[in-house]
Structure 1
């Protein structure tokens, strides 16, 4: 009997609407755990989740049983509702769009360290610089008017 086997690693990046610094240090780990649960419910594996007050990085061992846009939409929609209900951040919304980049198994350790060290990384590089570098590294064509609404001020709430 034939079966389907895959080994797909996807790095997903998206930001808070208007790039507002609304992800609080007090509850960010709870948010990451919640997002991890959503990923597991879609038969994928959360390998690393971290971010800053205005954006998030998610590394997924991806199962193609759920189309990637459906998975990202579920993460964004469910976590948006959960944040509003559990932390009373009534103006919280994720920005439209996302970045998704594929990685080889041999790159995972380095990428997991990169995601884990977001605070340190962003002392030297803004999210805009980081995101544009990802687009260039992966040779993704883009138009400036369709990028996230970038502003570079963040502070942990």
Structure 2
């Protein structure tokens, strides 16, 4: 099966949200590696540092998996992508406000807001609902939205 067969049709907003979601994932991965590297210079027990680094790396891989799902047009990745966007905005707010670091905080907020805006735009919502061109969001929801698409797939309908 080629990569083209694995990629589902999705609007440009969803694919861009996938790219934007990869940024916090890459940041977490770098942070996890830095925690591991810096562990040699601290008095903290090695087990604690390894557990912390492993947490960040596992979380980074989950976020990067979500980003890949969005980039490949998988509907399951939209909700985790929204959660990543909300968490990213929160981290940026904390950096900007309580931590007093607006330099890195503002760009982090902007990445989180970009993820949220892209995933809440009308083409993204229509894609997630399985909305047909000739129907409203309410009609798509009444038809069953995602559940209706899943049921049709199971029955073998197109």
Range class of TM-score, shorter chain: under 0.3
Higher RCO structure (Cα 8 Å, ≥6 apart): 1
TM-score (norm 1): 0.27
Work out which of the two has the higher radius of gyration on C-alpha atoms and give 1 or 2.
2
TM-score (norm 2): 0.27
Q: Counting helix residues as a fraction of each chain, which structure ranks higher?
A: 2
Q: Counting strand residues as a fraction of each chain, which structure ranks higher?
A: 1
